Structure 1
Amino acid sequence: MTVQPENGMTRRNILQLAGMAGAGLLLASCAGPGTRPGGGSAPAAGPTPPASGTPKGEVSFAHWRGEDQAAFDELIARFQKEYADVTVVQDITASNDYSRQALQRVRNGASGDALTSFRGSQFKSFVDAEILTDLSGTKAPKSYTADLIEAGQADGKQLAIPYQTVLLMPVANVDLFDKAKADIAPADWDAFLDACDKLKSSGVTPISWPGGDQGNAAQLVNSLVLHDAPSDDMFTQVQEGKLKVTDDWFLKVLEKYQQLAPFFQSNFTGTSYESSQQLFASGQAAMLATGSYSLATVRGLGSTFDMDMIFPNPAPKGEGKWEGVYNATFMLGVNAASKVQPAALAWVEFLSRKESAEFYANETAQFVTVAGVEYTNPDLAKAAAFLDKKIALAPRYQFTNLDMANAVWESCVKVAAGTSPEQAAEAAQQIIDQQQGT
């Protein structure tokens, strides 16, 4: 099998028994690099490299992974042994708030000398606002498999580097699947529904779904849309007006939410991400419909059962194209408005070292993109079996217009709650049409 930069990957070609990440969509080009240290503007020829010089000063590291704070504290301590004139301070914001507010907070360089971005709309907004410097000629990208960091490129330049890849499929309680004699590797949609039936009959909630948290609730669509969509770039085409969510293909996706509704916990529309994790960690639900980013948190909640990932295969028997879903995210960058760019770059390059990435991966149960990393964390080691499979780049992040995206994700929740697919799709399409000015 060969690497498929925009749609999928295999372990043999990409990971080389090492870290993993996704290759993404090339996004819009940029006009200028923003304000440079010392005032003034850089030439309008596109983003330029971080300023050179001796690393010194305080680096604000802006990100949303509060659960990784302790791991980063240890990495900061190691970093500061080498760079005595540099201090690194974590500036952590909840993921939903970071998604909405980060651009304004980092724009003037007061926060986020070194910063992170989500793939998709946030990265594009950073590019458009000239927030990011060009890392192409620095040491950092050399630590990664080149095919895996395209999600951080724009106009042929490496403006950010995806540090993580997450499997965006439900986490499964293997013990509950075994007890119910349910198939944890369903080969098609009917097989997945059969597994849900068996789990429900065994007395547990089959799927804990954070329907009250739009960002996390939307992870399920990454899998469910893969078979019925007419193209792999389906949501890009929806945003461009070439496809509509009122078309038959998306109505079929929404019908899958109708079929799954009996298998979600009661009051799923009011369930937060934290509550859905607790339900799963306590052994009351067999699946948590989020992704591998929840593994460490579930362990932190005291769970001891065996965990694995499960792909809710949306295809009919014998027609499956994909075997899983992943996303490239937590993209590292250096702020063009920072006054301590040499120090911020030194921190990004330090995180990019194999030994740093290996520590981070196994401490946080996160797959990383740095080459040569060995996964010793038991949950990662088990989930890594999916890296041998043909897995698709998460389609939900094709949207760069958040209003359109949120309208589509809301339609999925509405259908599960009882609205007809046609009504929910029409309401979403109206918002999309408004955003498109049609």
Structure 2
Amino acid sequence: MTQRSSGIGNSITRRRALQLLGLGGIATVSAVSSACAGPGSGEGGEQQGGSGGDELATGGPVEGEISFAHWRAEDQDVLEELFAQFTEEYPDASVSQDISPSNDYQSSALQRIRSGNIGDLFVAFRGAQFVDMVNAGLYADLSGTDVVDLYQPDLIEAGAQDGTQYGLPYQLVFNQPVTNLDMLESVGITEPPPDWDSFLAMCEDLLAADVIPMAWPGGEIGNAGHLFNCMVMNNAPSDDMCVKIETGEYKCTDDWFLRTLEQYAELRPYFQSNATGTAVEPAQQLFAEGQAAIMVTGSFHIAAARELGADFPMGMLAPITVSADEMKYEGIHNATFILGVNTASDNQAAAMELLRFLSAPEPASTYANGTAQHLTVTDVEYENEDLATNEEWLQKQTLLAPRFQFTDLDIRNAAEQACIDVVGGDSPEQAAEAAQQIIDQRVDA
């Protein structure tokens, strides 16, 4: 574990004192772009629940340490490059990254950011985590600030609640499988399969060519669940299917969900061995090394595959679980990585300036091209080859990732665990009943 840099200052703030006492929380990665004045966040542990949106302090000096809390370790180097540019402009400021694995960030970020010890600027996943953070009062109200005007209005709705813009979704990602285009072409696939039978036939052809059709991180429910988006997008009776599972209107024992689980069972032969015990990094490695034709996560892992040595052209496709004439959606998109300023921070002015910097077209373009991420910021220039290859997906008919409709993570995990259990060998009926029992308990609670 790498510890946070303390920065250099004339006094020790409450946050630094807590760090010295070992009470400042766990950070799996920490990096400082320049060593200047001391920590920027201190008091704030008294922030309690509510609807969020304390008045934003924007008039102070841009100085001291700014903590940026997030989960994307693969973005660390690009962000360090950007933060170096930021501190050239503001030499009295420094920026540290507090990076946790995505699963840890889901479970512990709220409490750690609420303490004020990390995350002057922070992010949230769209869905349950964002809602919980707004309700806990963590997000300062950005409504009416000039930074909001730097974003495409139709792509930042996931950062608003009850008409208030609390956060700014930075990334426009595609939660759907990434493909080795050369490998697919070698078995005659040049376009995404238009229906379920064609998808299975593609997998069978890949298997016959002694290739693992799909590398799937079934051992990590957070990453395994990206496939869930694609599997339900055309099967479900309505686009708000996960909302209705959560309210009890739809059930995992319904015919459409059982059909989805039956299709997971059909995919068993096409995943790598021990798929339900595989973490995301080994799955990425199989794909990057050319052992697997498809990485079943999303566009946000293209850069990681490149870092692992993948040198083949990459595309994307989503399994179409219905016939071609029944298809409503070609794939899945999501607006996430919701940036916000921490109400518990005592350095909001500097955090706001960092947010403004990241939201400007030139730094945003650097981030996009360096991480292979499409963004919601206006006037971004995409020069990265992978972004250019997949830019067509910006025009395709895609559904906003439905798994993030869940606001109760226990219910989401139950529904997604049913899919994992089926791949592991359970019958669809058995897995559906087990999931619904958990969901019924939550709905009735």
Whether TM-score is above 0.5 comes out as yes
Distance 2:338 2:299 in 1: 17
Pick closer, same or farther for the CA change 1:41–1:377 going to 2, 3 Å: closer
CA–CA distance in 1 between the matches of 2:209 and 2:44? Answer: 66
Return the match for 2:62 from 55, 66, 69: 55
Answer yes or no: is the 8 Å Cα contact 2:176–2:298 preserved in 1. yes
SS at match of 1:178: helix
Residue 370 of structure 2 is matched in structure 1 by 363
1:312 Cα deviation from its structure 2 partner: 1.1
Query: What is the alpha-carbon distance in structure 1 between the residues aligned to residue 406 and residue 208 of structure 2?
Result: 38
1:255 aligns with 2:262: yes
Q: Quick one: structure 1 residues 242 and 59, their matched pair in 2 at CA, closer, same or farther if it must change by over 3 Å?
A: same
Q: How far off its partner does 1:226 sit?
A: 1.3
Secondary structure of 1:318's counterpart equals helix
Counterpart of 1:49, as a letter, is E
For residue 96 of structure 2, give the secondary structure of its aligned residue in structure 1. Answer: strand
Secondary structure of residue in 2 paired with 1:245: coil
Moved more, 45-54 or 285-294: 45-54
Residue of structure 1 in register with 2:295 after alignment: 288
Partners of 1:38 and 1:71 in 2: CA distance: 30
Identify which of 197, 201, 204 aligns with 1:194. 201
1:184 and 1:195 in contact (8 A); partners too: no
Task: Work out whether 1:429 is the aligned partner of 2:441.
Answer: no
- The match for 2:398 is 391
In structure 2, do the counterparts of structure 1 residues 73 and 423 end up closer, same or farther at CA, with 3 Å as the change threshold?
Answer: same
Q: Which runs of 5+ in 2 are unaligned?
A: 1-40
CA distance in 1, matches of 2:249, 2:51: 33
| Aligned ranges 1:171-190 → 2 under 5 Å | 171-190=178-197
State the match for 2:129 in structure 1: 122
CA distance in 1, matches of 2:339, 2:58: 18
1:198 is paired with a residue of what secondary structure?
helix
Does the 8 A contact of 2:123 with 2:337 survive in 1?
A: yes
1:81 and 2:50 aligned: no
d(CA) in 2 for partners of 1:37, 1:416? 48
Q: How does 1:160-309 map to 2 (within 5 A)?
A: 160-309=167-316
Instruction: Give yes or no for contact 1:280–1:287 (8 Å, CA) kept in 2.
Output: yes
How far apart, in 2, do the equivalents of 1:398 and 1:36 lie? 34
Q: After superposition, give the CA deviation of every residue in 1:95-137 in whole Å (9 maximum; x if it has no partner).
A: 1111110011011211101101000111011011111100112
Looking at structure 2, the residues matched to 225 and 39 of structure 1 have their Cα atoms a distance apart, in angstroms, of 41
Instruction: Please give the alpha-carbon distance, in whole angstroms, between the structure 1 residues aligned to 2:46 and 2:370.
Output: 41
Counterpart secondary structure, 1:89: strand
Determine the structure 2 residue equivalent to 1:380.
Answer: 387
Question: Which position in structure 1 is the counterpart of 2:26?
Answer: none
Q: After superposition, what is the alpha-carbon deviation per residue over 1:329-371, rounded to whole angstroms, capped at 9, x for unaligned?
A: 1110000010000001000111000001000000111111101
Q: Secondary structure at the match of 2:351?
A: helix
**Could you say which residue in structure 1 is the equivalent of 2:148?**
141
Q: Is residue 175–residue 306 contact of structure 1 (8 Å, CA) maintained in 2?
A: yes
Residue aligning to 1:97: 104
Give the equivalent residue in structure 1 for 2:21.
none
| Matched-pair contact (CA < 8 Å) for 1:37–1:340 | no
1:313 to 314, 320, 325: 320
- Answer with 237-246 or 81-90: which moved more: 81-90
Deviation at 1:186, TM superposition (A): 1.0
Q: CA deviation at 1:38?
A: 8.8
CA root-mean-square deviation = 1.8
Percent identical among aligned pairs is 51
Q: Note the C-alpha offset of 1:40.
A: 8.5
**Partner SS, residue 184 of structure 2:** helix
Distance 1:199 1:129, change over 3 A: same
1:68 paired residue among 67, 75, 78: 75
Which runs of no fewer than 5 residues in structure 1 stay unpaired?
1-34
**Whole-Å Cα distance in 1 between the matches of residues 45 and 210 of structure 2?**
64
2:360 and 2:97 mapped to 1: Cα distance?
A: 19
CA shift, 1:183, in A, is 4.8
SS at match of 1:293: helix
CA distance in 2 between partners of 1:159 and 1:312 (Å): 34
For 1:424 and 1:100, locate their aligned partners in 2 and report how far apart those are by CA, in whole Å.
Answer: 25
Name the structure 2 match of 1:30.
none
> How much has 1:52 moved relative to structure 2?
2.8
Mapped to 2, the partners of 1:437 and 1:261 lie a distance apart of 34
SS in 2 for 1:389: coil
Check conservation: 1:36, 1:336, Cα contact below 8 A.
no
Between the aligned partners of 1:327 and 1:311, the Cα distance in structure 2 is 14
Q: What secondary structure, in the 3-state scheme, does the structure 1 residue paired with 2:233 have?
A: coil
Q: Which amino acid is 2:405 matched to?
A: Q
Q: Which amino acid aligns with 1:130?
A: G
Q: Is contact 2:218-2:277 (8 Å) kept?
A: yes
The amino acid across from 2:154 in the alignment is: D
Contact 1:211 1:217 in 2 (8 A): yes
Q: Which has the higher contact order (CA 8 A, sep 6+)?
A: 1
Moved over 3 A (4+): 35-42
Give the 3 Å change call, closer, same or farther, for CA 210–38 of structure 1 in structure 2: closer
Mapped to 2, the partners of 1:36 and 1:86 lie a distance apart of 16
TM-score by length of 2: 0.88
Aligned equivalents of 2:323, 2:312: Cα separation in 1: 31
Q: 1:147 to 1:154 in 2, by over 3 A?
A: same
SS of the aligned residue for 2:123 comes to strand
- Once the two structures are TM-superposed, the CA of residue 292 in structure 1 deviates from its matched residue by 0.3
Query: Among 353, 372, 389, which residue is 2:360 paired with?
Result: 353
